[in-house]
Amino acid sequence: MSGLPAAAHAMVTGGGRGIGREIARALKLAGATVTIVGRNGATLDEAVAQGCADHAAIADVADRDALDAAVDDAAARQPIDILVANAGSAESAPFLKSDAALFRRMMDINFMGVVHAVQAVLPAMKGRPYGRIVTVASTAGLKGYPYVSAYTAAKHAVVGLTRSLALELATTCVTVNAVCPGFTDTDLVADSVDNIMKKTGRSREQAVAELAKHNPQGRLIAPQEVADTVLWLCGTGAGAITGQAIAVAGGEV
C-alpha cells in the first residue's frame, strides 16, 4: 500500500471521538498534519492532547457558515489535501413516529454536513496535484434497517452523492469514496445499546449481541478497522479507486 504524500493536510469532521478520532489518529501516524472539526471543544482538545490531531476547530457541520470559517482557518495554515466527512448522528423511531423535524435533523447532519464540507474544500483541492475525499456513510447507506428510516435515508443520500461526485471529478486529481461501517464499537453504538436495554429490558450483553448478529462474523467492528480502510483510500496507490462504497462489516453486505 502506497502511503500519503509528504506534508499532506487532512481534515476530519466529527474527529473528536469514535471512528473520527481513530481516523485522525491513523492519518497523523501516517505522516499527515490533521485538523479535526466537531461541536464539543473539550472533546476536540482531548483528542489533540492525546496526539490524535494537530489542530481542532469548533463547528457544527450543519452550519455552513461555521464550517466555512473552520475550513478557511485550516487552509490558511496549510492547503487541505484530504477531507474525511465523518460527522454524523443517529436517532431511532418507528417510521410513523418519525416526524418532519427528525428527518430534517438526520438530513442536515448526516447529508448536508457532507455537502457543506465538500463544497468548502473542493475548489482549492481541485487545483492541487492530489486530493482525497472520503465520506463515512454506513451499511445503512447500502441496505435498510427498521426503526431508523430517517438515518438510513440520509446515509443512502451520502452514498449517492459520493458516486455522482466521483464521476464529476474523474478527470481531476480528486477521488471520492464512501466507507460504510457496520455496527462499530463506539459511543454512538453504546447509546444504541442503552436504548435497547431501556426499551426491551435486555442485559447489556444481550443488547450488544442484538447488534452484532447483523455481522456474519458475530461481532462489532473495531474503529481502527474503519480507519485502516480510510487510510488506504487516502494513499497515493489508491488513485484508481473512486466512486466506491466499501462496506467494513464482516460480510453483512
Question: Any idea which residues carry the catalytic annotation?
Answer: 151
Grid cell digits, residue 213: 448478529
User: How many whole angstroms from its chain centre is CA 176?
Assistant: 13
**Dihedrals φ, ψ of 11, to 5°?**
-115, 130
One-letter amino acid at 200 equals T
Sequence-ordered list of residues with C-beta below 8 angstroms from that of 105, at least 6 positions apart, any chain: 89, 91, 150
Report the C-alpha gap between 54 and 47 in whole angstroms.
Answer: 9
C-beta neighbour count of 236 within 10 angstroms: 13
245 beta partners: 178
DSSP per-residue string spanning 166-191: HHHTTTSSEEEEEEEE-SBSSHHHHH
**Can you give the C-alpha Rg of the chain in angstroms?**
17
Alpha helices for the chain (secondary structure H): 18-29, 41-49, 64-77, 100-106, 113-125, 149-168, 187-200, 204-212, 223-234
